Chain A
Amino acid sequence: MQSFPEKISAVMRENVERMKEYFHLDKTVKYHFFSAGKAECCVVFIDGMTNSALINEYVIKPAAQASLKAAPEERLAHLEKDVVQAGETSQQESWSELLQALVRGDSLVFCDGCARALIVGSKGYERRSISEPDGEVVMKGPREGLTEVLLSNIAMLRRKVCSEKLRFEFFELGETTKTACCICYIDGTADARVLAELRERAGRIRIDGVLDSNYVTELIRENRFSPFRNVGTTERPDIVAAKLLEGRAAMLVDGSPVAITVPHIFIEHLQSNEDYYISFYFAGINRMLRLIGFLLSVSIAPVYIAMVTHHHELLPTTLLVMISHARQGVPFSSLSEALILLLAFEVMREAGSRMPSQMGQTLSVVGALVVGQAAVAASMVSAPMLIVIAFSGVTGLISPKLKSVVIIACVGLILMADAMGMYGYVMGMIWLAANLASQRSFGVPMLASVPLMEAGDGEDSFVRAPFNRMKKFGRFLAGEKHGKN
């Protein structure tokens, strides 16, 4: 802040000249001079960030009609209390604080002869309307989604949890962006240790800018190199509210519609908020499907490779004859075939998620015909392998949260299966399970609440128990059991 001293001057013109010099090419900074009785005042605001109607009606108009007190030391107080009709006002003499307020969308009122300026809350910028997030669509249930504005997200949360125990703690992250962030929790339900840990980790963040909650996610998570998420993210306020009720803490970041929830354990990868909005039978079936889909997507390709390279005796004779004939003329080994097809599938998936929808139809036909039909007909890949990889890819999309795990685990297990057959696959699964079992998310073990891992907590894991059967609050993190672990 080379151009600005620590405090403002009492001469209004001097302050305004200083600002004009600093923002001289910036046409969005507006200066409006007016007289309030005998005092010369100037209101400074940034066009596009402020609600101009508020400034006109409740700042300029009453001020222009009022006559301020003659004594300079009382002038500003009079302006603040009796003239300006705004709910949020404060007096400030520090240039840094004033400029901060200006860039956030507040208006500054400089009054000649006053050693302080008035900050009037007048934020009024364009914001996206509330809509259902694309990545978390439900067929039945609330369709609100979080937006980029922190305050409106907080308002949505408050509407869902109308309790005075819902607490918010504000702080800033990012040296340059000074992004407003907020930790939310329900007092008495949330685990104190998790909260303390969260505050401490957030406090340790040193970064120049935070543009999205993912910046925060990566900086506060443990096990940075693990493909399993241990910090949850969501764009839906109902999910955030549900997690708060379960005893978790959430963090909202201004400018990002994605909220962070901690702790995040493995079973949450398989849960969806829709499970609570449909009958528990259907919810149970869906959950089991997700689990089975995850296991299948990770296992089917390695098991197939193990069987066709090492354990031919496990296949029925006719199937082996069919596979053997299908592979005639294929120049690649089974391992290479699998990896090439996996790569092709991932490329198509990634391309599919980025391209405009008009091209979607054409490209999917191209993908199916070219890769599928022509490659098999030309004996570049064998039909059984193509079927296996396609099935593996499709089942992997059942739980989108586990996408990164599936890709990494699938490739790793394919390599292990190629090395030592089924034994390699089994050992690879043990390594994966050991990695998962050793991880913790903010102190809670990742495999908490998986049935048998901890007896008695099966009510909301692979199936969803009916609400009247769930234990107190149907919540598992809150209270004694896990808090003390």
Chain B
Amino acid sequence: MKEQITGKQLAYLLLVFLMGGGATVGLRNADRDSWIAYALLMLLSAPVLYMYHRLAVLRAEYAADARGKTFERLSAAAAGVYGLAAVGMNALMLDFFCDFLSSTALTHTSRLMPVVFMSVTVFILAVCRSDAAARICTVIFVLTLLFAVLALAAALPQLDFGAVLPVFENGVAGMTDALFTAAAMQLGFAFFPVTALAPALKGKWGGYAVCGGAAACLIMTVHSARDIMLLGYPLISLYRFPAYTAMEVVHVSELTQRLEMLTAIVYVMCQPVKAALCLRLLTNAAEKRRQGGRYAAAAAAVALAAGITMLIKNVDGYRIMRAARMPAIILLIALPAAYWAALELRRLLRKNKKTSPPFE
């Protein structure tokens, strides 16, 4: 039976993908103006996601027309390069996750445990069919959304709305830095789920992709603002995981304490989804070459990522992330944009060729 997912499920997936990772626990050195960065990201996400959608559609057309092995070889090479980028992202996410666990709950547990458990989860999610993954992600989406809404509602009485003022007190440097990081690490990597799931999508799904991305960015904006309104600036800049810490101070009742565990749970649910969706490009390519090849590809990718994570145990993942921002932008936004432009041009030229009268 053919795998098929609906546009709505893609929107849910994208929301979980964009929101669930760093946005749930927050990124270090949060600035008072980080929320503006996420608001701008919302505006930026629409054209970028639409571009990914057009790219997938045009590429499918091109693939149908393309003759010869060149296209296939290029595709395989591209899949390899992007696959390596996905593995790298996987390793970085695992590193953040292990750091998070060691800093917060499981301080004495060796790194191997969470790495193994997470790797197995990522493997399972990467090899299951697209529609099965979409179904699981729908449940995760509901839980994530519920958490986002409840966290905001519970925090309302404690919010100090003036804490986001004054805007741009220290100039735009902090905000642009946050925007750059978010665009590279979150929006850019949305390339993977959109491209990997495109074959399973039918009909018009560009709108859904854009909506999912916009919704995610909106939630991230609101939550970022909420964090600052809860903790205050400059306190929030002291914490390694600001959103996680902000949740700790939300007081609901005497019975509920340390609500940041809910944040952590949402984080644990969304991280493997993000990692698995990144790896799907690789597993799809492997599956095309050989039936059942996706298991081997996923296992290899996951093992490689786990190995890298164990190797960079003593390196600060945050520094690696900052160093990887520019290459990520080039690889995931600039190059696809160029490719898309080329394909649109090609389509335009072909249309003109078709409409002009044949000279026989």
Interface residues of B in 111-129 (CB under 8 A from A): 113-114, 117-118, 120-121, 124-125, 128-129
Q: Are B4 and A437 in contact (CB under 8 A)?
A: no
Q: How far is the CA of A316 from the CA of B8 in the complex (A)?
A: 40
Q: Are B114 and A434 in contact (CB under 8 A)?
A: no
Closest Cβ of chain B: how far from A138's Cβ, in Å?
A: 31
Stretch at the interface among B54-62, B134-142, B207-215, B342-350: B134-142
Residues of B within 8 A of A426 (CB): 265, 268-269
Closest Cβ of chain B: how far from A435's Cβ, in Å?
A: 8
Q: Are A427 and B135 in contact (CB under 8 A)?
A: no
Residues of A within 8 A of B1 (CB): 440, 443, 485
Q: Are A311 and B105 in contact (CB under 8 A)?
A: yes
B contact face: mostly helix, strand, loop, or mixed: helix
Q: Are A455 and B6 in contact (CB under 8 A)?
A: yes
Closest Cβ of chain B: how far from A265's Cβ, in Å?
A: 12
The contact size tier of chain B is: 35 or more
Name the residue on A nearest B12 (C-beta).
A452
Q: How far is the CA of A440 from the CA of B128 in the complex (A)?
A: 12
Interface residues of A in 127-163 (CB under 8 A from B): none
**Most A-side CB within 10 Å, residue of B8, B117, B135, B272:** B135
Q: Are A437 and B254 in contact (CB under 8 A)?
A: no
Residues of B within 8 A of A437 (CB): 128, 132-133, 135-136
Q: How far is the CA of A311 from the CA of B260 in the complex (A)?
A: 11
Q: Which of B8, B106, B132 contacts A420 (CB 8 A)?
A: B106
Residues of B within 8 A of A420 (CB): 106, 109, 113-114, 117
Residues of A within 8 A of B106 (CB): 310, 420-421, 423
Does B289 sit within 8 A of A, measured CB to CB? no
Interface string of B84-102 (1 = CB under 8 A from A): 0000000000000000010
A contact face: mostly helix, strand, loop, or mixed: helix
| Interface residues of A, count at CB 8 A | 29
Q: Are B139 and A310 in contact (CB under 8 A)?
A: no
Name the residue on B nearest A444 (C-beta).
B1
Name the residue on A nearest B254 (C-beta).
A316
Complex A-B: 26 CB contacts under 8 Å: A310-B106, A311-B105, A311-B261, A314-B258, A314-B261, A419-B113, A420-B109, A421-B106, A423-B106, A423-B117, A423-B268, A426-B265, A427-B117, A427-B121, A427-B272, A430-B121, A431-B120, A437-B135, A438-B129, A440-B1, A445-B131, A450-B135, A452-B139, A453-B138, A453-B139, A455-B6
- Using A315-B257, A316-B257, A422-B264 as known contacts, list a sample of 5 further A-B pairs with CB atoms less than 8 Å apart, ordered by residue number in A: A419-B113, A420-B109, A427-B272, A434-B136, A438-B128
Chain A residues within CB distance 8 Å of chain B? 310-311, 313-316, 419-424, 426-427, 430-431, 433-434, 437-438, 440, 443, 445, 447, 450, 452-453, 455, 485
